[in-house]
C-alpha cells in the first residue's frame, strides 16, 4: 500500500462508525484526482491534492468533539493541526504537510483562491455537496457559475446536473432545421429551391 492509501485507511479509521463522512471524503478525493489529472497537475501537486482531499474535513469531528459545532470556520480552525499530526505520523514530507495544512485551513474560503490544487479541491467538494445537500438546480447553477473555473470541473457539473445544456449546444441547429421541415410538411407548403 502506498502512502496515500495508508492515509485513506487512516481517515476511514478516524471516521469509524460514521459512514456518511467516510463516503463524503471518498467522493471528494475521487473527483479531485480526476480533475487534477485532467487539468495536468504534475506528480507532486497531484499527490498533495490527493492527501488534502482525504483529510479536508478532518476538522468536522474535532469541532464536534470540542465545541459541539462543525461550521466552516471551526473546521478551518481545527483541521490543520489534526491533519499535520496524522500526516507526520504517516511519514509525509514537510512541504507536502505545509500545503495540506493550508488547503484544509482554507477549503471553505472561496475568495482569493490561489493555486490550481486549491481551486480543484473546492470544485470537488462542491460537486459532492450539491448532491449530498440536495440543492435545487437553480441554486446549483448560480453557485457553479461563481465557483467553477477548470474546464474539467465545469464539464462534470454540467454533465451531472445540467445535461440539457449540452444537448442544446450540440444539436440545436439540426433540431431547428428538422422542426422547420416538419412544419413545412404539415402545412403542405412547397418551397422551390
Q: Which C-beta is closer to Fe ion: that of 72 or that of 115?
A: 72
Q: Which of residues 115-144 bind Fe ion (CB under 5 A)?
A: 125
- What value, to the nearest 5°, has the Cα angle with vertex 39 and ends 80 and 72? 30
Tell the smallest beta-carbon distance from residue 144 to Fe ion (Å).
16
Question: Three cell numbers at 96?
Answer: 507536502
Tell the smallest beta-carbon distance from residue 113 to Fe ion (Å).
15
Say which residues have a Cβ less than 8 Å from residue 73's Cβ, sequence separation at least 6: 108
Tell the smallest beta-carbon distance from residue 107 to Fe ion (Å).
7
Residue 57 interacts with Fe ion (CB under 5 A)? yes
Q: Can you say whether the dihedral through the CA atoms of 57, 61, 66, 71 is positive or negative?
A: positive
- What value, to the nearest 5°, has the Cα angle with vertex 108 and ends 104 and 109? 105
The neighbour count for residue 51, using CB atoms within 10 Å, is: 26
Q: Which C-beta is closer to Fe ion: that of 32 or that of 48?
A: 32
Question: Three cell numbers at 82?
Answer: 489534526
Q: Which of residues 164-183 bind Fe ion (CB under 5 A)?
A: none
User: Binding segment for Fe ion among 50-58, 76-84, 96-104, 138-146 (CB under 5 A)?
Assistant: 50-58
- The footprint of Fe ion (CB under 5 A) covers 57, 125
Amino acid at each position: 500500500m502506498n502512502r496515500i492509501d495508508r492515509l485513506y485507511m487512516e481517515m476511514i479509521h478516524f471516521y469509524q462508525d460514521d459512514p456518511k463522512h467516510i463516503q463524503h471524503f471518498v467522493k471528494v478525493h475521487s473527483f479531485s484526482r480526476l480533475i487534477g489529472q485532467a487539468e495536468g497537475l504534475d506528480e507532486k501537486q497531484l499527490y498533495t491534492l490527493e492527501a488534502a482531499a482525504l483529510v479536508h474535513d478532518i476538522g468536522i469531528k474535532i469541532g464536534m468533539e470540542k465545541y459541539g459545532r462543525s461550521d466552516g470556520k471551526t473546521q478551518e480552525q481545527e483541521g490543520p493541526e489534526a491533519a499535520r499530526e496524522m500526516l507526520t505520523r504517516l511519514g509525509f514530507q514537510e512541504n507536502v504537510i505545509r500545503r495540506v495544512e493550508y488547503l484544509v485551513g482554507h477549503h471553505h474560503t472561496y475568495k482569493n483562491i490561489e493555486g490550481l490544487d486549491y481551486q480543484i479541491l473546492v470544485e470537488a467538494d462542491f460537486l459532492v455537496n450539491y448532491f449530498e445537500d440536495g440543492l435545487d438546480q437553480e441554486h446549483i447553477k448560480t453557485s457553479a457559475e461563481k465557483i467553477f473555473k477548470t474546464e474539467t470541473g465545469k464539464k462534470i457539473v454540467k454533465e451531472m446536473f445540467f445535461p440539457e445544456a449540452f444537448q442544446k449546444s450540440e444539436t440545436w441547429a439540426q433540431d431547428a432545421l428538422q422542426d422547420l421541415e416538419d412544419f413545412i410538411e404539415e402545412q403542405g407548403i412547397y418551397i422551390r429551391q
